[in-house]
Amino acid sequence: MSIAWGSLGLVAIVSFAAAVVVTALVSFGIVGLAARAPRPDGPEPALSPSTGTAVGVVSLVAAAAIVIYGLYIIVA
């Protein structure tokens, strides 16, 4: 039995990159959706509520698409 180290390294790099991208997209989604919440005593949010909602939804849909595609690859 031999191990294809090149393939193993490629899988490790791609899975690490996918984890970082999905984490960043979910973080952007949460920050975008948080722009809708009123802040009575804090500074004004950097995003308007409609822009924050759009950024949040697009980010979370992109993260979900990556996860679903990964599951599709595993199952198929």
Inform me whether the pLDDT recorded for 45 exceeds 80: no
Could you tell me the two tokens for 15? 């899975």
User: Quick one: which of 59, 66, 69 has its CA closest to 19?
Assistant: 66
For the entire predicted model, the pTM comes to 0.80
Average pLDDT over residues 55-71: 95
- Domain count of the fold of the chain: 1
Residue 42 in 3-state DSSP?
coil
Average pLDDT over residues 6-16: 95
- What b-and-e string marks burial along 8-40, b requiring 16 or more CB atoms within 10 Å of the CB? eeeeeeeeeeeeeebeebbebbebbbebeeeee
Q: Which domain holds residue 31?
A: 5-75
